[in-house]
Chains A and B, each alone.
Chain A
Amino acid sequence: MPVVRAVTCPVCGSLCDDIELTIENNRIVKVKNGCAMCEAKFLGYCCEHRVLKPMIRKNGELVKTTLKEAIRRAAEILAEANYPVLYGWSNTSCEAISVGLELAEEVGGVIDNTSVVCHGPSILSIQDVGIPSCTLGQIRHRADLIVYWGSNPWSAHPRHIERYTAFSEGRFEKSAWRSYVTKVKALIGRKKIQSAVKRLILKKPPTLSSQIELKPISSIAREGRKLIVIDVRRTKSAEMADYFVQVEPGKDYELLQAFRALIRDHELEVDRVAGVPVEYLEEVADAMVSCNFGALFFGLGLTMSGAKLRNIDAALSLVRDLNMRTKFIIMPMRGHFNVTGANTVFTWQTGYPYAVDFSLGYPRYNPGETSVVDVLLRGESDAALVVASDPVSNFPRKAAEHLVKNPLVVIDPHMNVTAQMADVLIPSAFVGIEAEGTAYRMDHVPIPLKKVVNPPRGILPDEEILRRILAEIRKIKRKKAEAA
């Protein structure tokens, strides 16, 4: 059976490119090196939820139709709309996104990608403050301190720690995996002793406070890479950390500013900040200052709660301050495999990374006004094209309500929740499995996606479907102009 090596995984922003796939009769039968999400995608992509025929809504029901008819109807909807929304783009190739932008300009709509509901606030802050960054390779080889703030890579980017940060084997920094295993064994031993003491001697809960558990075991934490996790819950990632700071929900801003004060050697005149004892924060700040090369990764815990973009302002400023004492970089943990590519291609072609409005004939960018959730909440759009995304599953109900009220064209390989609401549904090939393309990793490194199997009969890649819709729209417009 043929084995395809060095396949890029089209799931999360880590874009692991060491996947090995075994192919049998045009089907993937075995996945090596991948995480749970990677395996689920490569083995489960061609399941009963796959859409195999284009569909159109007639009398309230989705019925099968021809591709030509579906493209004609999609083009009609978009050409007739005054202010259509074109949304999604983060789960497809840069090449398809490029055609999408041309389409948005042609129909004078507002085009937005999924960063509006993930790292949109990060982009706004980066535009304000700037960002010291580097590639993940640099971090793998050189970083001796890793911070995850408001991010749970164990769930969202399962191989991030193993491939790029604390547990990766770098040229100059060794993996902290062994010390983690020792720590787990030590903790298990300690728990056993505690429970024995409880059962045999005291017959009541031991007096060891939970605060002791917050502290790393000093013999282990002395050398090697260190991992700090800051989150509202003790996540699986937090369990791997040398330091875990449990911040109260919505109080990240206070905590970030407290760290800024501490690394500038200011004394805090309170006992606790955001629910964490200042003594412990001092210890964590000390670890940050005394590293040689630190990397702070932040997730949606910062962008979705409390001060949103101001949290990111504070995080970027904290890293700027840390760079006065040592070397530190900061990077957002991007979710979808090509959301970074969406921002990049949007910026090449329009000058702006997301929330771009073409209604005046030229690109305008004003998140809050031209961002898709706001357009929907104000009820301004009159049609929508959704490509490789599922906003009905991911937008607040009120925004999704307006999206499904108007004519909705969906291009997606799966019958997802938005596809169930579609008026025109065009199935597409999976980019990175059935179609090739380019995607950008979270550190802005472009990585090619491979085509490893053929798509089902008659199923085209997003790029080709969008080109056909664009050509059809131009034909409709030409006819209208001639008639006038």
Chain B
Amino acid sequence: MSEKPKLKVTLITGRTIEQGVGKEHGKSSKEYVESVSICFMDPEDMKKLGVKDGANIQVSTAFGSVVVKAKKSLRAPHPGVIFIPYGPWANVIVDPETHGIGMPSFKGIPATVEPATDKSVLGLEELLKTQFRKG
């Protein structure tokens, strides 16, 4: 079996209007969960990895690994840059280091992306259970 393709990228997390609307509906709402368990990628990068819009991908950093849905970025071109909206999925892999000023690094984190067709995107409850064993 050939090895899965992997892509080295820079991870940016941030606000999207869908996440902003979703959080007002409630953090357990379908709108919120669907707006934050995704990853926007440059279409060229998706081609390189052989993933289609809506396919599951695994994003890994030095701090963790999470499965999210790949979405074709409407804000392209931004090759080598992926974007995950703020939320519990992004938090699994962001850099907690505050460099002595109180602020973790939520943007500009080195990451790798690989296709994860055999893995599923965890629901909010499952994600919290695996991360915190509470709730």
Show the binding face of A for B, using Cβ within 8 Å.
Answer: 11-12, 36-37, 40-41, 44-45, 47-50, 60, 116-117, 120-121, 124, 152, 154-156, 158, 210, 232-236, 246, 249-250, 300-301, 303-306, 308-309, 335, 355, 367-368, 371-374, 377, 390, 392-401, 404, 414-417, 420-421
| B50 interfacial by beta-carbon distance below 8 Å | no
> Closest residue to A391 on the B side, CB-wise?
B91
Name the one of A233, A394, A415 contacting B91, with C-beta atoms under 8 angstroms.
A394
Q: Are A152's CB and B27's CB within 8 A? A: no
Bound form: Cα–Cα A301–B83 in Å = 12
**Interface residues as binary, B71-106 with A (CB distance below 8 Å gives 1, 0 otherwise):** 001011110010100111001101110111111111
Bound form: Cα–Cα A230–B87 in Å = 24
Interface centre among B10, B24, B83, B95 (most CB of A within 10 A): B24
Bound form: Cα–Cα A101–B103 in Å = 22
Q: A40-B25, A49-B27, A305-B105 are in contact. Are A421 and B135 (CB under 8 A)?
A: yes
Q: Are A396's CB and B101's CB within 8 A? A: no
Q: A36-B17, A155-B16, A393-B91 are in contact. Are A374 and B98 (CB under 8 A)?
A: yes
Q: Are B108's CB and A152's CB within 8 A? A: no
How distant is A50 from chain B, measured CB to nearest CB, in Å? 8
How distant is A150 from chain B, measured CB to nearest CB, in Å? 9
Show the binding face of B for A, using Cβ within 8 Å.
Answer: 10, 12, 14-17, 20-29, 63-64, 73, 75-78, 81, 83, 86-88, 91-92, 94-96, 98-108, 124, 128, 131-132, 134-135
Contacts of A303 in B (CB 8 A): 103
Q: Are A394's CB and B86's CB within 8 A? A: yes
Name the one of B27, B63, B73, B81 contacting A397, with C-beta atoms under 8 angstroms.
B63
Q: A117-B104, A417-B128, A420-B128 are in contact. Are A397 and B92 (CB under 8 A)?
A: yes
Contacts of B106 in A (CB 8 A): 117, 300, 304-305
How distant is B125 from chain A, measured CB to nearest CB, in Å? 8
Q: Are A305's CB and B108's CB within 8 A? A: yes
Contacts of B105 in A (CB 8 A): 304-305, 308
Q: Are A373's CB and B98's CB within 8 A? A: yes
Q: Are B17's CB and A250's CB within 8 A? A: no
Contacts of B132 in A (CB 8 A): 392, 400-401, 404, 421
Contacts of A155 in B (CB 8 A): 15-17, 20
How distant is A376 from chain B, measured CB to nearest CB, in Å? 9
Bound form: Cα–Cα A235–B102 in Å = 28
> Closest residue to A158 on the B side, CB-wise?
B17
How distant is B91 from chain A, measured CB to nearest CB, in Å? 5
> Closest residue to B132 on the A side, CB-wise?
A404
Contacts of A40 in B (CB 8 A): 20-22, 24-25
Enumerate the 5 nearest inter-chain pairs by beta-carbon distance, A residue then B residue, closest first: A49-B26, A371-B102, A396-B96, A368-B100, A305-B107
Q: Are B128's CB and A367's CB within 8 A? A: no
Q: Are B27's CB and A233's CB within 8 A? A: no
Q: Are B20's CB and A121's CB within 8 A? A: no
